Amino acid sequence: MMLKGTTLVFLPLVCDIACSRERYFVIPALAAQCGKVWLTVSSLWRPIAASDKVVDAELEVNWDLDCPSSTGYPDTIKVFTADPAHNKTIKPKLTLTSLQYPRGYYRTNITVGRPPLPGGWDTKDGATLPGPHCLKHHAALYKDGAFIVSSCLQIWPTWMYDLRRQLGRLPIGSLMIPGTHNSGCYKHGDLTRRDAFQRYLLTQDRDVWTQLVHGIRYLDIRVGYYPSIPNGTAIEVGNHISRFWINHDVIRITPLSSIIKDVRNFLNVARGEVVIMDFHRFPVGFGDRSNRHRRLATILWREFEGLILKPDRGVEGLGPTLNDIWTGGKRLIICYGDQHTVNEYDWLWPTMSQAWGNQQTVEGLFKYLDEVIMGSKRFRNSQNPLWAVMAELTPYPLDILFNLSSGLRQMADSVNRNLTFKFQEEWWKETNVVATDFFLGNNLIDVSIQSNIKKSNIAQWRL
């Protein structure tokens, strides 16, 4: 829902399943009892009159109050362009009052855009600071005028290694790992409404570098090979001209070289982070041509040789711990969806199981995921300790042809905030990788981090 004013707004009855945690600055004891507020970025867009351009990346405010009846609910949320805990004089960009539901969200008309990434993470090759870093937008929760808690829209590019004391003992197959579905299906620059079919092609609105900097650690990759692409449009990787592209089904979207470069640069500067590249499907140009798989494997080895973690073939279980991975210094896992190629190269991990429900409604998807996640032990591939929940809706072919579902952005909007709550409350214990469309529309990076801390505490208690 759209916010019309920017000063004082009496909140309509807008409620949805939503729950999470951001980087909180807790003041009084009330916050520990009943106060969470966090920010997400809407996947929706609005047309601009008499223009091909659109307005997108608008801020959403989310809250989860969960208050005991003796205290009553906090009554106000304010959104700022700086941290109100450290800047007492800053005026709010907007104010929401009358929080009548314990859980809810509100879509604003505050545009986030694509701001520079803080902490030196915007340059891809400059000095970078570890730890979480806030972007400019903050949300704060109040009761009777008293500040309770605030959070920010943030990046956490080094969360794995920052939390090494808590997470180091966990096997990679037991971690909850945030990921993106069709990770390379994005567009640089401003969106337009020129091409109606684009709404069924793009699944992300940030490039892979930005995904990783925010905290994504799993990349879902579908590759096409185009032997007839003219040399002028082929892409150079190292000293090799590549005709490999990231595909959404049979449509090529992004040069594979862009993803390779972003992953390599990120691993070079985020020296404790572990990244999973899942080359899951090869929809165009491969067929039975093993030479093209070998050519792709050659490129991957050339670009990542010193970073690739080899699998323990024939060893069942949940895989190496993060401590084991850090000791060996190899931090890139490459899963590959062609068994013949996996048999040929000992550094490729076997195909990774993906729980993909092919569902068109939130209810259908959640029913499917509930069954899969609760039965996760049966779902795992015995040859690979990693498995992924693909938590997104899928349009029917007729939806695409006649635009019946309004596009992937609308479908992601209908499911993302609900996923935050379900994984926070129920599914975190059994989930390994979770991949979504338009990941900034949910808070699963932070939910994953907090879930891994809880998993570590449980593991320590059992010892």
Task: State pLDDT tens for residues 159-174.
Answer: 999 999 999 999 999 9
pLDDT of amino acid 455:
95
pLDDT beyond 60 at 29: no
Provide mean pLDDT across the span 411-418: 94
CA distances to 96, 105, 211, 264, 423 from 92, in Å: 10, 18, 29, 40, 31
Q: Between the ranges 23-37, 187-201, 285-299, where is the mean pLDDT highest?
A: 285-299
Name residues whose C-beta falls within 8 Å of residue 291's C-beta, 6 or more positions apart in sequence.
none
- The token duo for 430 is 């059994």
pLDDT of amino acid 2:
40
CB-hemisphere CA count at 13 Å for 178? 30
How sure is the predictor about 279, in pLDDT bands with cuts at 50, 70 and 90? very high
pLDDT beyond 80 at 11: no
pLDDT in tens, 88-113: 889 999 999 977 678 899 999 999 98
Percent of the chain residues past pLDDT 90, beyond the cut: 64
pLDDT beyond 90 at 126: no
pLDDT of amino acid 31:
42
pLDDT of amino acid 45:
87
- The token duo for 35 is 């106060």
pLDDT of amino acid 23:
39
**Strand ranges (DSSP E) for 199-274?**
218-225, 235-237, 240-242, 244-248, 251-255
Residue 348's nearest CA partner among 310, 401, 399 is 310
pLDDT of amino acid 381:
73
User: Read out DSSP for 19-46?
Assistant: ----S----STHHHHH-EEEEEE---EE
> Could you tell me if 19 and 34 are in contact, meaning their C-beta atoms sit under 8 angstroms apart?
no
d(CA 222, CA 241): 19
- The token duo for 192 is 């337009």
How sure is the predictor about 343, in pLDDT bands with cuts at 50, 70 and 90? very high
pLDDT of amino acid 398:
65
How sure is the predictor about 404, in pLDDT bands with cuts at 50, 70 and 90? low
User: Can you tell me which residue has the tokens 């090979």?
Assistant: 225
d(CA 420, CA 17): 8
d(CA 329, CA 161): 12
CB-hemisphere CA count at 13 Å for 392? 29
CA distances to 270, 286, 358 from 220, in Å: 20, 18, 16
Domains of the chain: 36-155 (no CATH), 159-461 (3.20.20.190)
Provide mean pLDDT across the span 341-353: 96
Name residues whose C-beta falls within 8 Å of residue 222's C-beta, 6 or more positions apart in sequence.
182, 184, 246, 247, 248, 249, 280, 281, 282, 283
> Could you tell me if 336 and 279 are in contact, meaning their C-beta atoms sit under 8 angstroms apart?
yes
How sure is the predictor about 401, in pLDDT bands with cuts at 50, 70 and 90? low
pLDDT of amino acid 241:
52
pLDDT beyond 50 at 460: yes
Provide mean pLDDT across the span 187-213: 82
Provide mean pLDDT across the span 295-312: 96
pLDDT beyond 90 at 54: no
pLDDT of amino acid 258:
94
- The token duo for 267 is 């691993």
DSSP class of residue 414 equals H
pLDDT beyond 60 at 20: no
> Could you tell me if 112 and 137 are in contact, meaning their C-beta atoms sit under 8 angstroms apart?
yes
3-class DSSP state for residue 54?
strand
Environment class of 198 (CB within 10 Å of its CB; exposed 0-12, middle 13-18, buried 19+)? middle
- The token duo for 197 is 């079919």
Of 74-78, 236-240, 344-348, 396-400, which range is least confident? Answer: 236-240
Average pLDDT, rounded, for the chain? 86
- The token duo for 217 is 């650690």
